[in-house]
Chain A
Amino acid sequence: AVLAKDPYGEDCRYQQYPPTGATFRGSVPDYIINLDLPPRERWVQLAHEKKDELKTIVEHIKKVMIVFFPSGKLLHLLESKMAWLGSTLPYPFNEEIEGIAHAAEVGLGDIVVFNVFYEIFTV
């Protein structure tokens, strides 16, 4: 069998660094996480400053779930159970997640989903 050439492939790139041009979207902001603080307080500044972006991703995940399960029953079930799941997570992660949900003004269950998404997504 003859495989077709990858239509999106290209020759190896050179001279891309320092990042500029069309493939470079920007740098990322820096934050300090103080591990001496109680877990609930560690992420407050970051979660507060990124609350709009967090709400956007949470709302989108909900929209995707509605597409696959239009009745909304699964979504309601998950929302009610995820907060409980959060309480079963090991210390200090459970408390850090609670602190993020509070600071970002997002439901605890939603932040729990965001934090366990990898385990669900690997299917």
Chain B
Amino acid sequence: CTSIIAEDKAGKLYHARNLDFGLFLGWDIKNSSWIVTQILKPLMVSLDFQRNNKTVFRSANLAGYVGMVSGIRPGIFTLTMNERFSIDGGYIGVFEWIFGKRDGWWMGFLTRSVLENSTSYEEAKDRLTNARLLAPAYFILAGNQSGQGSVITRSRTAALDVWNLNASFGTWYVLETNYDRWKVPLAVDDRRTPAMKCMNRTMQQNVSLPALYNVLSTKPILNKLTVSTTLMEVSEGRIETYLRDCPDPCSPW
């Protein structure tokens, strides 16, 4: 996955992501694609969660999955999550859960709960930073005011890093793939460097949802695992999701 939060010169925040999934779960030689990635595309839906006929939050989701991987609480915050791989992975948390230690959150349930119940950027950030989890994850959270953007790197028990937007000091965007920002990504899976190159070329004065779509359409940020691209703009409560294909030649991940 690749998630980006960017702030324009006027302090307006944009949030976009590519949802990549299906690695090593079967390759379709005939169609040159990952089988699961293809199977997931017809399951992608745009959901509007309502209470009293009013929108509480909206999300881009897979049908059948009650957790959230991308969502917007209109006017308040936007949220995406990226997979974080670790030896201390989710299977340990699952075993703990099975054996009765149930004080942690399943990742998707936490993001769903945050989108459904948190009424401010700060409250959402606090919950995503401090809640105990069953699996490590990256949470990418943006608010509706200048500087309200962060990438929260989570282990199962703690926040290892919180990387905040700070446009006045030159950090006008934060970008997360599937690697800790203080580590070099795998050489065969470096989507961070080309994405940053394209963001730097875009420049802050040109940031917009179409500009982020351009970045997320550039290979290898767009790759054979990419199921969809979601674009969000919090102040207008806008969320758009598009299914993607990556015609050959295209990186397998």
Contacts and interface: CB of A to CB of B under 8 A. Distances in A.
B50 A35 contact: yes
Contacts of A22: 245, 247
B219 A47 contact: no
B183 interface: no
Interface string B105-127: 01111001000100000000000
B142 interface: no
A36 B51 contact: yes
A35 B44 CA distance: 20
Contacts of B46: 28-31
A93 B85 CA distance: 25
- How big is the B interface, by class? 35 or more
Contact of A100 (B64, B93, B202): B64
Interface string B130-150: 000011110000000000000
Contacts of B106: 89, 93, 115-116, 118-119
B29 interface: no
Interface residues of A, number: 62
Contact of A122 (B85, B223, B251): B85
Contact of B40 (A9, A57, A93, A104): A57
B57 to A, nearest CB: 10
A60 B249 CA distance: 26
A122 B64 contact: no
Contact of A118 (B98, B108, B245): B108
A98 to B, nearest CB: 11
B251 A6 contact: yes
Given A10-B219, A33-B49, A122-B86, A16 B250 contact: no
B190 A119 contact: no
Contacts of A3: 187
Interface in A52-101: 53-54, 56-57, 60-61, 63-64, 81, 85, 88-90, 93, 96-97, 100
Given A8-B219, A17-B209, A23-B217, A31 B45 contact: yes
B243 A120 contact: no
A28 B44 contact: yes
B109 A114 contact: no
A106 to B, nearest CB: 8
A119 B109 contact: no
B167 interface: no
B238 interface: no
B247 A119 contact: no
Which of B25, B35, B52, B64 lies at the interface centre, i.e. has the most chain A CB atoms within 10 A of its CB? B64
B242 A28 contact: yes
Contacts of A111: 64
A33 B48 contact: yes
A6 B40 contact: no
Contacts of A19: 213, 229, 242
Given A31-B45, A115-B65, 8 more contacts: A8-B250, A12-B201, A22-B245, A27-B242, A33-B48, A46-B47, A96-B66, A119-B89
